[in-house]
């Protein structure tokens, strides 16, 4: 069984997209000194942990997920010394920091790949996946061909400039497909362990792992080969860095936690559960046409399968999907956060979601973002030139042009704002163990295609009931909602009914 770091019991994460959070030098791009200057904001919000998207040296063809040097901070963000200071300043404030680990691929410009392209066999020949001939494809995987004198085609994981690192194939059907325990595949593992050591020694508390379920190619249903791979990483960490916390981009907690991860995300790809909450035919909509069981069936099974061995994390959003605020008003968003911040596991808040930053659909793609670019615009701190993000008149991405573009400064002064509601909910979570990561969870009312959704959270002698009615109509509640109202949106429940677009968090007696 994984031994979870104690701090995860009440962890709430804030996702920082470095290029969009705070610019300190006026070049229109966020940086690490800017991130440091905003740590007090994150702490005051109520978050005690941070996930930082890739900050490594990169040509930025995929916003930094195309790494050129895993041990060097991208110059536009600062230096390795700045990163060390970021860790130190976060720790001074009682906060933990996970950084993005990108073990699946590198940039085409990485020194490893340049060596791997050479016709002469060398240390890096098998660091990447190459077919045996330039004319030979790799089945379902895209490849790069004719790029060097090496006679082969290089498999890519995503964009054409992201060659896949080689962890082997679960089943070897062609001579060039290495086994996971081959010399070349094991050398890749050791290279990633070396990278992990570097950042943990510098001060990181752990990693969010990109593409965690798909490093070994053509794995069977259930990903047994990838589970064994991560068990090897877990054994290494338990021996050298037992404090290291890990959250996976996997989406199947039963598998990822068996592999040694402490946390797994509910994701926007894979089972439809997460998208059924906020985005595709969502439950949290005024129209009231969603189905909470589309989420709950998967979630309940995941919760049962992990049996307290790890955490299931439900994010407000991330850099790869439309923002939470898309198609919602402030009251809608308050109800969404009443759900997000009262569920088990460790919540993740994507920067700006706490003020309802909007998805901007019509801006030109930047750094490989395409449709995702509209969710990556700079943080809006205050109403002035540069929105407090930058002293420059321009930034690397545009700001929300609306007259009512949300800002931290305005919402901090308004007790009825979304920001104030999020802070209130996070304070409640901190004050009540029943609402934290390991509090018990049980649905009290969750009917297919019906509203509201009511559930209880329990810890020791404390019982809290959460009732959510996102629909724009009054609904009956077939369970008792008597007790002390700790947090509410809209009218409080009365006479067995919930008002339209309302939420209630209620402390009850056992």
Phi, then psi, of 386 in degrees rounded to 5:
80, 0
ω into 452 cis (within 30 of 0): yes
Q: Do residue 39 and residue 140 come from a single domain?
A: no
Put simply, whether the predicted model's pTM sits higher than 0.95 gets the answer yes
Whether residue 1 is contained in a domain is answered as no
Radius of gyration for the chain, computed over Cα atoms and rounded to the nearest angstrom: 23
Whether residue 171 is contained in a domain is answered as no
pLDDT category, 510, cuts 50, 70, 90?
low
Q: What is the pLDDT of residues 116-159, one digit of tens each?
A: 999 999 999 999 999 999 999 999 999 999 999 999 999 999 99
d(CA 449, CA 451): 7
Q: What is the pLDDT of residues 458-499, one digit of tens each?
A: 998 899 999 999 999 999 999 999 999 999 999 999 999 999
Q: Do residue 120 and residue 233 come from a single domain?
A: no
CATH of the domain at 144: 3.90.400.10
Which of 429, 464, 497 is the last residue in one of the domains? Answer: 429
For the chain, what is the domain count? 3
Angle at 275 between CA 468 and CA 312, to 5 degrees: 75
Q: Do residue 99 and residue 110 come from a single domain?
A: no
How large is the average pLDDT for residues 338-356?
98
CATH of the domain at 486: 2.60.40.1180
Whether residue 207 is contained in a domain is answered as yes
CATH of the domain at 362: 3.20.20.80
d(CA 48, CA 177): 44
pLDDT category, 210, cuts 50, 70, 90?
very high
Q: Do residue 88 and residue 113 come from a single domain?
A: no
Residue 226 CB-half CA count within 13 A? 26
Q: Do residue 82 and residue 134 come from a single domain?
A: no
Q: Do residue 222 and residue 143 come from a single domain?
A: no
Q: Do residue 204 and residue 63 come from a single domain?
A: yes
Whether residue 139 is contained in a domain is answered as yes
User: CA–CA distance from 71 to each of 67, 204, 444 (Å)?
Assistant: 10, 13, 49
Q: Do residue 80 and residue 16 come from a single domain?
A: yes
- Residue 236: pLDDT over 60: yes
How high is the mean pLDDT of the chain? 96
Whether residue 65 is contained in a domain is answered as yes
The residue segments making up the domain with residue 158 are: 105-166
d(CA 369, CA 228): 33
Specify whether the CB–CB gap between 78 and 52 falls below 8 A.
Answer: no
Which of 377, 408, 429 is the last residue in one of the domains? Answer: 429
DSSP bridge pairs for 348 = 13, 315
Q: What is the pLDDT of residues 264-302, one digit of tens each?
A: 999 887 778 999 999 888 999 999 999 999 999 999 999
Q: Nearest CA to 346 among 295, 311, 319, 318? A: 311
Whether residue 349 is contained in a domain is answered as yes
Q: Do residue 18 and residue 155 come from a single domain?
A: no
Q: Do residue 272 and residue 253 come from a single domain?
A: yes
- Residue 247: pLDDT over 70: yes
How large is the average pLDDT for residues 214-223?
96
How large is the average pLDDT for residues 392-399?
92
Whether residue 150 is contained in a domain is answered as yes
- Residue 14: pLDDT over 80: yes
> Percent of the chain beyond pLDDT 70?
99
pLDDT of residue 270: 73
| Chain centroid, CA 83 distance in Å | 20
d(CA 235, CA 3): 12
Query: 3-class SS at 356?
Result: coil
Q: In angstroms, how far is the first alpha carbon of the chain from the final one?
A: 32
Which of 429, 457, 490 is the last residue in one of the domains? Answer: 429
Q: What is the pLDDT of residues 165-196, one digit of tens each?
A: 999 999 999 999 999 999 999 999 999 999 99
Q: Do residue 25 and residue 158 come from a single domain?
A: no
Q: Do residue 425 and residue 454 come from a single domain?
A: no
Q: Give per-residue burial for 352-371: e unless 16+ CB within 10 Å, then b.
A: bbbbbbbbbeeeeebbbbee
Q: Nearest CA to 252 among 201, 184, 303? A: 303
Whether residue 92 is contained in a domain is answered as yes
Q: What is the pLDDT of residues 53-101, one digit of tens each?
A: 999 999 999 999 999 999 999 999 999 999 999 999 999 999 999 999 9
Burial class (CB in 10 A: 0-12, 13-18, 19+), 149: exposed
């Amino acid at each position: 069984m994984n031994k979870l770091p104690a701090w995860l019991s009440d962890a709430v994460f804030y996702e920082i997209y470095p290029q969009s959070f705070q610019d300190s030098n006026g070049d229109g791009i966020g940086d690490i000194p800017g991130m440091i200057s905003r740590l007090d904001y994150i702490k005051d919000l109520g978050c005690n942990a941070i996930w930082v998207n890739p900050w490594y040296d990169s040509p930025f063809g995929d916003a930094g997920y195309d790494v050129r040097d895993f041990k060097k901070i991208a110059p536009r963000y600062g230096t390795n010394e700045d990163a060390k200071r970021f860790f130190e300043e976060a720790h001074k404030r009682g906060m933990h920091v996970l950084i993005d680990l990108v073990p699946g691929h590198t940039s085409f410009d990485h020194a490893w790949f340049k060596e791997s392209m050479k016709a002469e066999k060398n240390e890096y020949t098998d660091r990447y996946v190459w077919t045996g001939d330039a004319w030979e494809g790799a089945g379902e995987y895209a490849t790069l061909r004719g790029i060097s004198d090496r006679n082969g085609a290089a498999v890519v994981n995503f964009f054409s400039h992201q060659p896949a690192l080689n962890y082997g194939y679960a089943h070897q059907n062609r001579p060039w497909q290495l086994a996971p325990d081959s010399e070349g595949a094991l050398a890749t593992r050791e290279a990633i362990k070396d990278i992990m050591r570097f950042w943990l020694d510098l001060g990181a508390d752990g990693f969010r792992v990109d593409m965690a379920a798909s490093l070994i190619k053509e794995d069977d249903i259930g990903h047994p080969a990838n589970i064994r791979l991560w068990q090897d990483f877990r054994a290494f960490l338990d021996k050298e860095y037992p404090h290291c916390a890990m959250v996976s981009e996997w989406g199947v907690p039963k598998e990822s936690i068996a592999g040694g991860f402490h946390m797994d995300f509910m994701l926007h790809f894979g089972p439809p559960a997460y998208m059924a909450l906020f985005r595709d035919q969502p439950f949290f909509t005024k129209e009231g046409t969603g189905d909470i069981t589309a989420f709950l069936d998967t979630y309940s099974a995941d919760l049962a399968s992990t049996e307290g061995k790890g955490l299931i994390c439900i994010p407000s959003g991330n850099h790869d999907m439309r923002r939470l605020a898309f198609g919602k008003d402030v009251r809608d968003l308050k109800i969404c956060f009443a759900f997000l911040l009262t569920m088990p596991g460790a919540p993740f808040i994507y920067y700006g979601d706490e003020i309802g930053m909007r998805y901007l659909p019509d801006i030109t793609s930047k750094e490989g973002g395409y449709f995702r670019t509209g969710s990556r615009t700079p943080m809006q701190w205050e109403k002035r030139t540069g929105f407090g993000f930058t002293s420059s008149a321009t930034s690397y991405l545009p700001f929300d042009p609306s007259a009512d573009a949300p800002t931290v400064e305005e919402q901090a002064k308004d007790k009825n704002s979304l920001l104030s509601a999020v802070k209130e909910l996070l304070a409640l979570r901190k004050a009540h163990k029943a609402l934290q990561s390991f509090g018990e969870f049980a649905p009290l009312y969750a009917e297919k295609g019906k509203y509201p959704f009511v559930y209880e959270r329990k810890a020791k002698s404390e019982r809290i009931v959460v009732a959510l009615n996102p629909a724009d109509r009054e609904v009956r509640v077939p369970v008792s909602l008597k007790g002390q109202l700790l947090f509410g949106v809209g009218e409080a429940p009365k006479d067995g009914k919930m008002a339209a677009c309302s939420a209630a968090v209620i402390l009850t007696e056992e």
